[in-house]
Amino acid sequence: MLVTRETDYAVRTVLYLARERDRTASVTEVARAMRIPKSFLAKILQRLVRSHILKSRRGVNGGFQLAQKPSNINLLSIMEAIQGPAGINLCAVDSKKCTWSATCSVHPVWVGIRKEVERRLKKQTIAGLL
């Protein structure tokens, strides 16, 4: 499993917005503060809004802020919003994708690792990282 640059940017963006929870931040502000290309960040923000991690407001005073308390947002939800399920092997995410899953001696290992990674990511909240 690889944490993509996009997911890393998403986590850093959520942390940035969590530090000043009651304030709305523009794409430009976040991009500048986090040193993320604005067009790349805009796509990340859209995914986080669709996943109900962030909310957006349009207009002159528009921008982005957390849609939930930092204690309710975990690293797993951010990762899944950006790059999908956390798995080191496709069969560990969906055993139907592999014809060997039922008889493969390594399959349970991949599934166990995936479950452990998910458990750890779910346990780690934004509030705990602040």
CATH code of 80's domain: 1.10.10.10
Residue 102 pLDDT: 67
Nearest to 74 by CA among 109, 126, 20, 17: 126
Q: Could you tell me the residue range of the domain that residue 69 belongs to?
A: 5-129
Total domain count, the chain: 1
**Tens of pLDDT, residue by residue, the chain (130 residues):** 678 899 999 999 999 999 988 889 999 999 999 999 999 999 999 999 999 999 999 888 889 999 999 999 999 999 999 988 766 666 556 666 666 666 778 878 888 888 888 899 999 999 999 9
Nearest to 67 by CA among 55, 57, 82: 55
Answer whether 44's CB lies under 8 Å from 10's CB: yes
Q: Can you give the pTM of this predicted structure? A: 0.83
